[in-house]
């Protein structure tokens, strides 16, 4: 029989009524002839509750025990789901990470997959079981301890199982009915995409779109897993949701497929840094060591000279990072300056900026996208502070107060409210 992987997030299994709703969807796939591997998250809010209990118990906790506690939320969901399916007459069994086993590294709370052997689950399928309900977000280390994969780990678990079992498809059920051209809460013209390429989805996920976790898209692209994003709360069929697949499967796509944005960004500028070989490493090495997620980087000639002997041998270095990492970034730069590895005149922080990005594989073969984007923003009086580009993406930093205006403007400018056939 073909294998289908289905993943259900926390809101989809938030209570017993929703678990029963999900069980009906699983049962229908069994009736269609699939052996089904179901990946479940903890019930909505439970993981945060468990983390709170750990923090209340110990200020400095053992990471191994943290994982043992936090992973228990998924175990409860898996057991309840299997029980519900059994009540419906569907032969199902729940699996915790160590029982599969889902072999991972020993990096507790940030583990990576090593292998997922098929033998145990396939043996149950051979016995007549039709559904394996697997606790997502967790695995087992080489030392035999429970590990967790970090936030969004259940998405990654689902894709990893689809790859390991050569599943026909991996369906990610969530609280939205697919991937949209932008956030529908920003513009009512946002349109659900029928298909989107792995690369576009990866860019959108990394740029702030919350539909799929970035690691899961990376894994799907690497192993060619066909992903489908759809809603747990709607009636669905084979045409529902958005398919994430190879660009070869997409008959026709627009130059730009979507507009992504991230509200909570900050811009940091080091003024009058010595312009010499190795200065970038001296700046961004300490930032990486401090766990600062640097995104956009711009280096420009400073208005000031370094000294009378070396005129013009200075630069200003600007980078962006999440706003909640500003204090970490500031301290890393101050420590590097105190250690003598870098020197700068001033450190300027602008904590009132946001990032807006246009994404599309069509940008590879079409020119003028950047000019069109910049003209549209300029016409609305939106000033661009920093620009960053890749083969299929253009990102800009702007004042946060203009974020909704910028998204709506670009969505209209690139005709994203209309189907591809109409353009």
Task: State the number of CA atoms in the 13 A half-sphere of 372 facing the CB.
Answer: 16
CA distance 414 to 182: 12
Q: Find out whether 10 is annotated in a ligand binding site.
A: yes
Report helix angle 198-206 to 214-223, nearest 10: 160
Q: Find out whether 74 is annotated in a ligand binding site.
A: yes
The tokens describing 85, both together, are: 């399916």
Residue 334 in this model has a pLDDT that exceeds 50: yes
The tokens describing 408, both together, are: 């709506």
Contact in structure between 316 and 272 (CB atoms under 8 Å): yes
As a dihedral over the C-alpha atoms of residue 373, residue 260, residue 280, residue 313, rounded to 10 degrees, the angle is: 30
CA distance 344 to 328: 17
CA distance 269 to 385: 12
As a dihedral over the C-alpha atoms of residue 197, residue 202, residue 205, residue 208, rounded to 10 degrees, the angle is: -110
Q: Find out whether 174 is annotated in a ligand binding site.
A: yes
Q: Find out whether 175 is annotated in a ligand binding site.
A: yes
Q: Find out whether 47 is annotated in a ligand binding site.
A: yes
Q: What digits encode the pLDDT tens for the residues 219-246?
A: 999 999 999 999 998 887 777 899 998 8
Examine domains 3-250 and 259-415 and report if their fold is the same. no
The tokens describing 357, both together, are: 């990005």
Contact partners, residue 385, CB within 8 Å, separation at least 6: 267, 350, 353, 396, 397, 398, 399
Q: Using the structure block, give the residue that is written with the tokens 């627009």.
A: 254
CATH top-level class of 259-415 = alpha beta
Residue 306 in this model has a pLDDT that exceeds 70: no
Domain range list for the chain: 3-250, 259-415
pLDDT on residue 58 = 85
Contact in structure between 357 and 399 (CB atoms under 8 Å): no
Predicted confidence band at 301 (pLDDT cuts at 50, 70, 90)?
low
Q: Does residue 209 sit in helix, strand or coil?
A: coil
Q: Find out whether 122 is annotated in a ligand binding site.
A: no
Q: What digits encode the pLDDT tens for the residues 369-391?
A: 999 999 999 999 999 999 999 88
Contact in structure between 320 and 395 (CB atoms under 8 Å): no
Gyration radius from the chain CA atoms: 24
pLDDT on residue 309 = 46
Q: What digits encode the pLDDT tens for the residues 247-265?
A: 888 866 678 999 999 999 9
Q: What digits encode the pLDDT tens for the residues 71-108?
A: 999 999 999 999 999 999 999 999 999 999 999 999 99
Q: Find out whether 210 is annotated in a ligand binding site.
A: yes
* pTM (2 d.p.): 0.82
Distances (CA, A) of 422 to 117, 264, 416: 47, 35, 10
Q: Find out whether 7 is annotated in a ligand binding site.
A: yes
Contact partners, residue 237, CB within 8 Å, separation at least 6: none
Length of the chain: 423
Instruction: Identify the CATH assignment for 3-250 out of 3.30.70.260, 3.40.50.1100, 3.40.1160.10, 3.10.180.10.
Output: 3.40.1160.10
The tokens describing 50, both together, are: 């468990």
pLDDT on residue 205 = 81
Full strand arrangement of the beta sheet holding 35-40: 92-95, 131-135, 35-40, 3-8, 169-174, 227-231, 242-245, 195-197
Q: Find out whether 9 is annotated in a ligand binding site.
A: yes
Can you say whether the dihedral through the CA atoms of 361, 362, 366, 369 is positive or negative? Answer: negative
H or E element, residue 103: strand 103-104
H or E element, residue 52: helix 46-57
CA distance 322 to 351: 9
pLDDT on residue 311 = 53
């Amino acid at each position: 029989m073909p294998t289908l992987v289905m993943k259900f997030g926390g809101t989809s299994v938030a209570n017993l009524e929703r678990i029963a709703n999900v069980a009906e969807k699983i049962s229908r796939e069994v009736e269609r002839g699939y052996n089904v591997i179901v990946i479940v998250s903890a019930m909505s809010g439970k993981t945060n509750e468990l983390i709170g209990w750990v923090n209340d118990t110990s200020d400095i906790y053992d990471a191994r025990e943290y994982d043992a506690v936090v992973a228990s939320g998924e175990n409860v969901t898996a057991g309840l789901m299997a029980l519900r399916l059994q009540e419906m007459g569907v032969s199902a069994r729940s699996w915790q990470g160590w029982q599969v086993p889902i072999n991972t590294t020993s990096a507790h709370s940030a583990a990576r997959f090593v292998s997922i052997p098929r033998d145990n689950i396939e043996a149950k399928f051979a016995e007549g079981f039709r559904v394996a309900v697997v606790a997502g977000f967790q695995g087992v280390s080489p030392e035999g301890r429970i590990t967790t994969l970090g936030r969004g780990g259940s998405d990654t678990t689902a894709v990893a199982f689809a790859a390991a079992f050569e599943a026909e498809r991996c369906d990610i059920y969530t609280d939205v009915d697919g991937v949209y051209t932008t956030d529908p809460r920003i513009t009512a013209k946002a349109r659900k995409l029928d298909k989107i390429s792995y690369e576009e989805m990866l860019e959108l996920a990394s740029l702030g779109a919350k539909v799929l976790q970035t690691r899961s898209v990376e894994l799907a692209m690497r192993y060619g897993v066909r992903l489908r994003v759809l809603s747990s709360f709607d009636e669905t069929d084979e045409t529902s949701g958005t398919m994430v697949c190879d660009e070869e499967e997409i008959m026709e796509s627009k130059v730009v497929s979507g507009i992504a944005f991230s509200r909570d960004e900050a811009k940091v500028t080091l003024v009058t840094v010595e312009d010499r070989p190795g200065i970038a490493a001296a700046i961004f090495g300490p930032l990486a060591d401090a766990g600062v997620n640097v995104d956009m980087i711009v280096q420009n000639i400073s208005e000031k000279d370094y000294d009378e002997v070396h005129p013009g041998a200075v630069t200003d270095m600007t980078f962006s990072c999440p706003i909640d990492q500003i204090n970490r970034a500031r301290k890393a730069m101050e420590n590097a300056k105190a250690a003598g590895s870098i020197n700068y005149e001033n450190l300027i922080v602008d904590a009132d900026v946001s990032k807006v990005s246009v994404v599309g594989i069509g940008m590879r073969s079409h020119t003028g996208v950047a000019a069109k984007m910049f003209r549209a923003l300029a016409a609305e009086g939106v000033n661009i502070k920093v620009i960053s580009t890749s083969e299929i993406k253009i990102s800009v930093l702007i004042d946060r107060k203009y974020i909704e205006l910028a998204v709506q403007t670009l969505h209209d400018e690139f005709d994203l409210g209309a189907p591809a056939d109409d353009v």
